[in-house]
Structures are given as structure tokens and as C-alpha cells.
Amino acid sequence: MASLMVMVFVIVSLFIPAVRPSQDLWKLECLPTVGIVSETTVITCSFKGFKKMEIVAVSLTKTTQEKPVFTMDPDSISGDQRISLENSELGPSLKISDTMFSDEGEYLYNVITDRGAKMAQLSISVTAKYKNPITSTWPEAVKGGGHATLYCNATDGYPAGFIHWFDRSGTNWTINSNTTKATKDSNGLKSVALSSRLTFKTIDAGLAPFRCIVLNSRYAQDGESTISITSQSYDDSNKESLASNTTHIVAGVMVIGSLIVGLLFALLIFRKRNGQHGRRPSAHPMLSYESGNSSEDTLETGNYSPKE
């Protein structure tokens, strides 16, 4: 099929210039293409000069290979089945479904129309989107005023991207951060793991929440995550409750102590009073009896006083 295609191309390109001198009045142009792995990539191509032309045949060949990766002529379509003309009615744009890293490279695109044949060079690069970043901190619970390291990791993107840091007011902290990039290439699946670290000797909790933004190699945002800072760490709240426990214990001891002291005083006074009223030991029981039956007393007093 490929050889037939080449034959058709050769014949048409030899023959058509003689028939149609308008050949040089049009151009085939393709835009550089950036595809996303496992998604559909459109290679935008267009005719410049004539709006209406009928596509007779096309072939797409990688500059590093002899055989076309895709051909289409009036009789057949051959090559990589993921590749097709996006819409031959509208123009020469191509489409690659389920884009792979192996699609990256430079290509020659031949197009034969009812007005002649043209060739254009095009390039395809393939990227992968970073997964949403995973954040962590050291220590796990950051305390305002203490030391802190904030981490933001994004994986499975390609090519190497960037991680930028901002605080709640939008101040850019990126300059204080460090991003490491680890590239992996296994079975044609390329990926980069980004790990960014933002370290504070003393962190101001008022700057939280922090945001880390993951950008792809072309500075387009792929994802973001926020890190909030608990104003107190677990350890410190433990210490604090221990401290407040101690305070409670001290306070308790003081209260009990003063109670004991008070009781001792009361006992002392009671003893003194007992000593003072030593000659009338019955005074106290009488008093308590009187206070317990004060109304009766009054009645009795009322009853008795006239008699006495």
C-alpha cells in the first residue's frame, strides 16, 4: 500500500504541475504540536492560498524512518490505526488517538490535492499531566513560631515542570524553596517526580494556609494543594496540658492546704470559745437547740414572758 501511495504521489506530482500551473499559489502549513499522553492529539494543518481543495492522498513519515507511519489514498488507508485525517472535508489536519511518547519527533507530511501536491515538516512533542500534588510537613503538626519544612510532591508528569509556593496573601515564596526532579523512563513511559521543599527556621502561622502550584514545562498549571498549619503541635499541647495539670495540682494542694489551715483555725477558735465558756458547758448545746427551734423559742418566750 505504501509503495502504491508513493507511486501515486510521484505520478501526481510529476503530472499535475504541467496541467495546473496554479500549484505554487498554495502552501501546506502545519503548527508545531504538543500532545498529551493517552489523549487525542490534533495536528493542525491548513492550506494557504486556496480555500477549497479536495484531498486526494496523504502520507505522514517520521524523518528518522523510511516507511510512512500513515498513508491514505483513494483506495486504502494504512499504517498506524491511531492516526487519521481529522476531517478531510475541512482540511489536511491529522489526529492521533491514544497518544504515546513514541509519537514524539519530526515528521514530513505529504498532501496531494486536486490542485497539486505539497509537503510540510511538522514536529510533535508529547507531555503528561502531573497528578494532584501530595503535601506533607515536618514536623507533622507545625507550630507557629517553630521550625517547619513544607513538602509538595507531584508525580507522573512529563517533561520536568515546576512547583511554586504562595502564602495566604499571595506572597511568592518560591525563591526560598528547593525542587528536585527525578526522571523515570520505563518501557517508553516517561515521567518526572517533582519534590519541592520550603523550609522555615521560624514559621509565622499567620501566613498559612500555604499553596503549592504545580506547573508543567510550559508554565501551565497542572494542579495545586494547600497546607494549613495548626497553631499548636500535638507534642506542645501535650506539654501544655501537663503544665496545666501541674497548675491544677498546685492549686488543688493550695486549696486543700488552706482548707486544712482554715479548719485548724476554726478548731482553735472553737476550742478557745469552749475554754471561755468553760463555766457554762451547757451554753453550746442550748445555743444549737435554740437556733434549731427559734420559732418555738419565740413562742415560748412570748408565752413565758407574761408569766415571769
Ligand X SMILES: *[C@@H]1O[C@H](CO)[C@@H](O)[C@H](O)[C@H]1NC(C)=O
List residues binding ligand X (CB under 6 A): 134, 136, 151, 153, 164, 172, 174-176, 178, 195
Find the shortest distance in angstroms from Cβ 206 to ligand X. Answer: 20
Taken in order 76, 81, 85, 87, the sign of the CA dihedral is positive
Task: Identify which of residues 50 and 173 has a Cβ nearer to ligand X in the complex.
Answer: 173
Q: Which of 136/228 has CB closer to ligand X?
A: 136
What is the closest distance, in whole angstroms, from the C-beta atom of residue 216 to ligand X in the complex? 14
CA distances from 242 to 24, 142, 248, 249 (A): 88, 20, 10, 10
* Residue number, 64 or 219, with CB nearest to ligand X: 219
Listing DSSP states for 230-268 in one string gives -SS-HHHHHHHHHHHHHHHHHHHHHHHHHHHHHHHHHHH
Shortest CB 37 distance to ligand X, Å: 23
| Least separation in angstroms between CB 131 and ligand X | 11
Least gap, CB of 230 to ligand X (angstroms): 17
Instruction: List Cα–Cα distances, 92 to 63, 67, 111, in angstroms.
Output: 19, 20, 7
Nearer to ligand X, 221 or 301 (CB): 221
Count CB-CB contacts under 10 A for residue 160.
Answer: 14
Nearer to ligand X (CB atom), residue 101 or residue 151: 151
Provide the pairing of β-strand 162-166 with 210-215: antiparallel
- 55 close to 84: Cβ distance less than 8 angstroms: no
